[in-house]
Amino acid sequence: MVQRTVQIFPPFERFYHWAQVVLVILMTYTGFRLYGIHEWMAYDQAVLWHTYSALLLMLLWVFAIFWHLTTGTWRHYVPTTDGLIHVMRFYSFGIFKGEDHPYRKVYWRKHNPLQSMAYLALKVLVFPLIWITGIAYLTYRLWEPAAGSGFWIEIVGNLHVLAAFGILSFIVMHLYLMTTGHSIWHHIKPMFNGYDVVDLTPAEEAYLEQDEPGRIKPAE
């Protein structure tokens, strides 16, 4: 294996990431207003912005799912227990002792085992929950006449808030990990220019240099 600087975050993935950041921040801010945590904007405006942001985010997710499936990027999220214990130990103890991260990025697995599991849980559990409850809440007038709708809308609302706080917890942890180890810029730079240092097999290195030279920087 050899370490090379490779573009592992293509343009659409970077666009998807930052567009999602903006929309989630906007939804969090307006969601807090709807939940009564602040009153820094009019309630009806918060409803409008929250709804439009949610619809744009769902549209973005649809495109992102299609992109992940057609490009094979979904492989990065396949869970594995290989090295999981070492990564968990690092985040529990080693990170506070200044130890080096036990995981080294490779071409087809840019996320460590713990990241893969966290992202997968977010995408297959939390995101669908907030989708379903959000759509159910948005279309409440259509099923309001049904028996027990008042009870079910309360359940839907609580589940939606629970999923929202799940996403918020993930964001807080994400931001915290950006402050550990290297500088914050070192962590976020790949999401701006797409490049990061990864381990390549000789076959992967030869393939990139011959077929996709724009994705690999010259060896120093």
Within-domain flag for 77? yes
Find the CATH number of the domain harbouring 176: 1.20.950.20
In this predicted structure, what is the pLDDT of residue 23? 94
Task: Residue 42: give the domain boundaries.
Answer: 2-215
Within-domain flag for 11? yes
Within-domain flag for 205? yes
Within-domain flag for 18? yes
SS (H, E, C) the chain: CEEEEEECCCHHHHHHHHHHHHHHHHHHHHHHHHHCCCCCCCHHHHHHHHHHHHHHHHHHHHHHHHHHHHHCHHHHHCCCCCCHHHHHHHHHCHHHCCCCCCCCCECCECCCHHHHHHHHHHHHHHHHHHHHHHHHHHCHHHHCCCCCHHHHHHHHHHHHHHHHHHHHHHHHHHHHHHCCCCCHHHHHCHHHHCEEEEEECHHHHHHHHHHCHHHECCCC
In this predicted structure, what is the pLDDT of residue 140? 86
In this predicted structure, what is the pLDDT of residue 220? 60
**pLDDT confidence tier of residue 78, bands split at 50, 70 and 90:** confident
Within-domain flag for 187? yes
In one-letter notation, the amino acid at residue 214 is G
Q: How far apart are CA 205 and CA 220, in angstroms?
A: 14
Within-domain flag for 92? yes
103-162 pLDDT, tens digit per residue, is 888 878 888 888 888 888 888 899 999 999 999 988 888 888 888 888 889 999 899 999
Within-domain flag for 143? yes
Q: Take residue 99 and report the two structure tokens written for it.
A: 């130890």
How many residues would you count in the chain? 220
Cβ neighbors of 217 (< 8 A, separation 6 or more) are 4, 5, 6, 195
Within-domain flag for 220? no
In this predicted structure, what is the pLDDT of residue 16? 92
1-58 pLDDT, tens digit per residue, is 788 899 989 899 999 999 999 999 999 999 999 888 888 999 999 999 999 999 999 9
The total of structural domains in the chain comes to: 1
User: What's the predicted TM-score (pTM) here?
Assistant: 0.83
pLDDT > 80? residue 183: no
